[in-house]
A and B are shown apart, each in its own frame.
Chain A
Amino acid sequence: MADQTPEAEDLKTTPLDSFHRGLGGRMVPFAGYAMPVQYTEGIIAEHNHTRDKASLFDVSHMGQIRLHGANAASALERLVPGNIEGLAPGRMRYTMLTTTDGGVIDDMMVTGEEDGLFVVVNASRFDADLPHLREHLGAGVEIEVLADRALLALQGPKAAETLGDLAPAAQAMPFMTAQRMDVGGIDALVNRCGYTGEDGFEISVAAGDAEAFAQQLLDDERAAPAGLGARDTLRLEAGLCLYGQDIDETTTPIEAGLNWTIAKRRREEGGFPGAAVIQDQLANGASRRLVGIKPDGRAPARAGTAISNSGGEPAGTITSGAFGPTVGGPVAMGYVDIASTEPGTALNLDVRGKAVPATVTALPFAPHRYFKG
C-alpha cells in the first residue's frame, strides 16, 4: 500500500479545527484548509447517517461575502446568468460567475438581504472570485469579506426536527430561503439549502460561537458529525456539480446541465459575461453535456477516466466518480458527446486499461428530498 497520509503544513484552519480533532476527525488538506475527510465511523457510515437521520458538516472553509449597496443585485447580475434583481430578501439562488467565453469562474449561493446580498463561494476559488468581484462590481457596491464567520451544514431527513428543537422557526422555512434567528442562544443566519440532496440547512454563525453551536447540535442523538468524504459521495449521488471537477472555466452552465439556473429574462436579455455563447447553446444545444454514468460491476471509475461509445469512438471523460453507498455501487458523472446523452445509452469506460461497460443514467442517482413548504 502506498502511504496516503498527507503532510498538513501551512494549512489554514476553520474555527472548528480542535473540535474536529477532539471528535477523531481525520484531517486532510482541502482547498488550502485542514479539513476532516471523515471521523471515526468512516465515510460509508457517515453517508448513510446523513440519508437516515442528520449529519453536521463543517463547511467554514467556504468563502462568505456580503455585498452592500442599493444596487448590489443589479451589479452582480452583470456577472452571473441568474436572476438576482428579482431576489427578494430571504430568498436564495444558485448561480455562477461566468467568463467571457461562457465558462464558470465559480458557482455560488446568493441570498437576498434588505440592503444587499449574502454570497457563499468555494474555498478553492475565493482568491479568483474576490479580485473578479472587486474589478467588476463597480464603485457603488461594498464588498465585505466575512472572515470571522463559520459555516455549518446540518443535512438529512431529521435536520429540521433537530434544528427545530433549538429554533422552532427553522422548521417551517421552505427550501432555498434564509432567515436570521436565535438558535439556542446563538445569533445565526439559517439557510435552508445544502449539498447532499437531503433536506437541511447551512448556518452561518460568528467564529467564536461555532464550537458551542456545533456542540448543541451534536448533543442531539439524531445528529452525528460527517466529513468531506461523505459530503462528496452524497453530492455525487444527488447529481450536484463540484467546482474544479464537474465545472470550471472550460465548461459552460449549459454543458453542465445547469440551464435551470438561468431565468427566462436573463436568457432573453443576456447582459452577463459569455451571454452570446450561452444563449447560442440554449438555442441550438451544446456539443457535449454532463450526464450521470453508472458503471457495471463494482469498480469505481474515477475522474479522468476516458469514455467511449458503443462503436468504440472516444465519447468523453468522467469528471467525478466514487462508490455511492446509497446506490450500493459505483456512480459517476462525466461529459459525453451530445449523441451519447440519452439515459440508457451504453458506454465503455477505460478503467486501468480494461473496458468497463457503463450506462448513461438520469440524475440524481438518489432522489432529492428538499422541503418545499
Chain B
Amino acid sequence: MMTTKYSEDHEWVTMDGDVGTVGITDHAQSQLGDIVFVELPEVGSSVEAGGDAGVVESVKAASDLFTPVSGEITEVNAALEAEPSLANSDPTGDGWFFKVKLSDTSELDGLMDEAGYKEFIAD
C-alpha cells in the first residue's frame, strides 16, 4: 500500500519503495489558478526538503515550487512541461511534478497525513 503525505507548502508525496512522486495539492492548484508554465528540476540533481525544486507560473504570477523531501531527482513529468494545465485538471494524478529517491525516509514522519492536511487547510 502506497502512502501519501502532505507538506505545509501544499505539496503531496506518494511513496513507492524509497521513491516519492511529488505534486501540488488540489488546494494549491485552486489557489494558484490557471497554471501556464512549470520549470522542473534536472534529473540527477539533489534537492533538499523545504528547498526550491522549480517554478510554477499561473497567468498572474510565478511561485516557487518546493520539495517536501530530500533526495535525488529520478524523473520529471515531461507531459506536465508540455501541458502545464494538467496541474489544474489532475493535480494528484497526471499533473505530478517529479520523482525523488529519498535520502532519508524518516523525513516523511514530519509531514502530515491526509486528515492532518485537510485540517491544516481548513484553518
B-contacting residues of A (Cβ < 8 Å)?
Answer: 1-5, 26, 37-38, 42-44, 229, 232-233, 298-300, 302, 322-323, 325, 330, 352
Partner of A4, one of B32, B36, B57, B65: B32
Q: With an 8 A cutoff between CB atoms, is B11 at the interface? A: yes
User: Provided the pairs A2-B9, A4-B31, A44-B59 are in contact, do residues A323 and B65 lie with their beta carbons within 8 angstroms?
Assistant: no
19 A-B pairs (CB sep. < 8 Å): A1-B10, A1-B25, A1-B31, A1-B32, A1-B66, A2-B9, A5-B31, A26-B33, A37-B60, A43-B34, A229-B60, A298-B36, A298-B37, A299-B57, A302-B61, A302-B62, A323-B34, A323-B37, A330-B37
A-contacting residues of B (Cβ < 8 Å)?
Answer: 9-11, 24-25, 28, 31-34, 36-37, 39, 55-66, 84, 88
Residues on B with beta carbons closer than 8 Å to the beta carbon of A42: 33-34, 88
User: Provided the pairs A299-B57, A302-B62, A322-B59 are in contact, do residues A229 and B33 lie with their beta carbons within 8 angstroms?
Assistant: yes
Residues on A with beta carbons closer than 8 Å to the beta carbon of B32: 1, 4
A322 to B57, CA, bound (A): 9
A3 to B82, CA, bound (A): 25
Contact A322 B11 (CB under 8 A): no
A44 to B32, CA, bound (A): 13
Contact B61 A4 (CB under 8 A): yes
A248 to B73, CA, bound (A): 45
Residues on B with beta carbons closer than 8 Å to the beta carbon of A26: 33
A44 to B36, CA, bound (A): 10
Residues on A with beta carbons closer than 8 Å to the beta carbon of B36: 44, 298, 300, 323, 330
Measured CB to CB, the closest approach of chain B to A50, in angstroms, equals 14
Contact B57 A2 (CB under 8 A): no
Measured CB to CB, the closest approach of chain B to A224, in angstroms, equals 16
Contact A232 B60 (CB under 8 A): yes
User: Provided the pairs A42-B34, A43-B34, A323-B36 are in contact, do residues A1 and B65 lie with their beta carbons within 8 angstroms?
Assistant: yes
User: Provided the pairs A300-B57, A352-B55 are in contact, do residues A4 and B63 lie with their beta carbons within 8 angstroms?
Assistant: yes
Closest chain B residue, CB of each to CB of A230: B59
Closest chain A residue, CB of each to CB of B28: A1
User: Provided the pairs A299-B37, A322-B60 are in contact, do residues A1 and B11 lie with their beta carbons within 8 angstroms?
Assistant: yes
Contact B33 A323 (CB under 8 A): no
Residues on A with beta carbons closer than 8 Å to the beta carbon of B88: 42
Partner of B63, one of A2, A298, A325: A2
Residues on B with beta carbons closer than 8 Å to the beta carbon of A330: 36-37
Closest chain A residue, CB of each to CB of B8: A3
User: Provided the pairs A1-B28, A298-B36, A298-B37 are in contact, do residues A43 and B60 lie with their beta carbons within 8 angstroms?
Assistant: yes
Measured CB to CB, the closest approach of chain A to B98, in angstroms, equals 14
Measured CB to CB, the closest approach of chain B to A185, in angstroms, equals 36
Measured CB to CB, the closest approach of chain B to A122, in angstroms, equals 19
Measured CB to CB, the closest approach of chain B to A366, in angstroms, equals 15
Contact B34 A44 (CB under 8 A): yes
Closest chain A residue, CB of each to CB of B84: A298
Measured CB to CB, the closest approach of chain B to A26, in angstroms, equals 8
Partner of A3, one of B10, B55, B57, B62: B10
A298 to B31, CA, bound (A): 21
Residues on A with beta carbons closer than 8 Å to the beta carbon of B37: 298-300, 323, 330
User: Provided the pairs A1-B28, A1-B56, A323-B57 are in contact, do residues A43 and B33 lie with their beta carbons within 8 angstroms?
Assistant: yes
Residues on B with beta carbons closer than 8 Å to the beta carbon of A37: 33, 60
Residues on A with beta carbons closer than 8 Å to the beta carbon of B34: 42-44, 323
Contact B62 A300 (CB under 8 A): yes
User: Provided the pairs A299-B37, A299-B39, A323-B36 are in contact, do residues A1 and B9 lie with their beta carbons within 8 angstroms?
Assistant: yes
Among all A-B residue pairs, the 6 with the closest Cβ atoms: A323-B36, A1-B10, A1-B28, A43-B59, A44-B34, A298-B37
Residues on A with beta carbons closer than 8 Å to the beta carbon of B58: 43
User: Provided the pairs A233-B59, A323-B57 are in contact, do residues A2 and B64 lie with their beta carbons within 8 angstroms?
Assistant: yes
Closest chain B residue, CB of each to CB of A328: B36
Partner of A229, one of B9, B59, B63, B84: B59
Residues on A with beta carbons closer than 8 Å to the beta carbon of B84: 298
